Amino acid sequence: MNEPLFSAHALAKSYTMGRRTLEVLRGINLQVARGEFLALRGASGAGKSTLLHLIGGLDSPNAGEIHFAGQDIAAFSERELTDFRNRRVGFVFQSYHLLPELDALENVCLPARVARVPANQAAARGRELLARVGLGDRWEHKPFELSGGEQQRVAIARALINEPELVLADEPTGNLDSHTGGEIIELLKKLHAEKQTTLVIATHDARVAAHARRVFELVDGCIVEDVQQNGR
């Protein structure tokens, strides 16, 4: 196995809701190699999304540590954390999270513009990515003019615009029919194979998880199984 890209040790996360404390993650230990493709599988409420948010720096744990390329992300300053999320991690969400007032190309280019990539360079890269995901002739369309599958393709292109080391996909097929969802998974697999980008997919669907080389089963905030899937 290649060197670890990120690791989590004794990771715990809870939320206080009035007088109640909800424990979402309970002592997660996880190590993921560069270039690996793995799935986090579990029912709704198992902690999959929370774990992705912690790995990607969108939230912070109550206990435990996360190291990315040997660095403790808890030690990052706000500026370093923002740069980490923008440049080193690409996010794909179940609900796409596209800005409705922007067209497909503008949505894809947003992370690059935040990273201060020149506009013409960002646009060229954005058009290339939209072509790669099968939307080369749809870049001027607003989200409401695109199907769910097309919107998710835009979201994937956006996640890749800054050539991140890690792509985190949270239920990327959850809002799609089975045929379109299958196309999205095949697209993610193809892009992962071409760039050897580390890919982590959170899903409740065993059919989606079956595409990954490793599957971590989450139950009530704990990893109860780490399955090595031969031949993947």
Query: What is the number of structural domains in the chain?
Result: 1
Quick check: 104 pLDDT over 90? yes
In sequence order, the 6+-apart residues with CB closer than 8 A to the CB of 4 are 31, 32, 33, 34, 67
pLDDT for res 17: 85
Range 105-110 contact pairs with CB under 8 angstroms and sequence separation of 24 or more: 105/130, 105/139, 105/140, 107/143, 107/154, 107/155, 107/158, 108/139, 108/154, 108/157, 108/158, 108/161, 109/161, 110/158
pLDDT higher than 80, residue 227: no
Going by pLDDT thresholds of 50, 70 and 90, the confidence category of residue 4 is confident
Mean pLDDT, the chain, rounded, equals 92
Q: What end-to-end distance do the CA atoms of the chain give, in Å?
A: 14
Report residue 23 CA to chain centroid gap: 23
CA-to-CA distance for 206 and 121, rounded, in angstroms? 39
Q: How confident is the model at residue 8 (pLDDT cuts 50, 70, 90)?
A: very high
**DSSP tag of 143:** G
Q: What pLDDT is attached to residue 145?
A: 97
* Torsion sign, CA atoms 47, 53, 56, 62: negative
pLDDT at 197 over 80: yes
Q: What is the mean pLDDT of residues 98-107?
A: 97
Residue 119 neighbours by CB under 8 Å, 6+ apart:
109, 113
State mean pLDDT over 166-170: 96
The dihedrals phi and psi of 207, each to the nearest 5 degrees, come to -70, -35
Whole domain around residue 190: which residue ranges?
A: 4-228
Query: Distance between CA 212 and CA 218 in Å, rounded?
Result: 15
Q: What is the pLDDT of residue 2?
A: 63
Backbone φ and ψ of 83, nearest 5°? -65, -40
Nearest CA to 190 out of 136, 137, 133 is that of 133
pLDDT bin (cut points 50, 70, 90) of residue 125 is very high
Could you tell me what percent of the chain has a pLDDT over 70?
97
The stretch 140-153 carries a mean pLDDT of 95
User: How does pLDDT run across 34-82, given as a tens digit for each residue?
Assistant: 999 999 999 888 899 999 999 999 999 999 999 999 999 999 999 999 9
**Sheet containing 222-228, strands listed edge to edge, beginning at the edge strand earlier in sequence:** 89-92, 166-170, 198-203, 37-41, 214-219, 222-228
Using the predicted structure, report yes or no on whether residue 226 has a pLDDT greater than 90: no
d(CA 228, CA 215): 7
Three-state DSSP at 160 gives helix
For residue 117, the domain's CATH number is 3.40.50.300
Tell me the pTM: 0.92
Mean pLDDT of 115-140: 94
Kindly write down the DSSP assignment for every residue of 68-137, as one continuous string: ETTEEGGG--HHHHHHIIIIIEEEE-TT----TTS-HHHHHHHHHHHTT--HHHHHHHHHHHHHHTT-TT
Examine the pLDDT at 108 and tell me if it is beyond 90.
yes
pLDDT at 18 exceeding the cut of 90: no
The pLDDT of 219-227, averaged and rounded, is: 85
Q: Which phi and psi (to 5°) does residue 16 adopt?
A: -100, 125
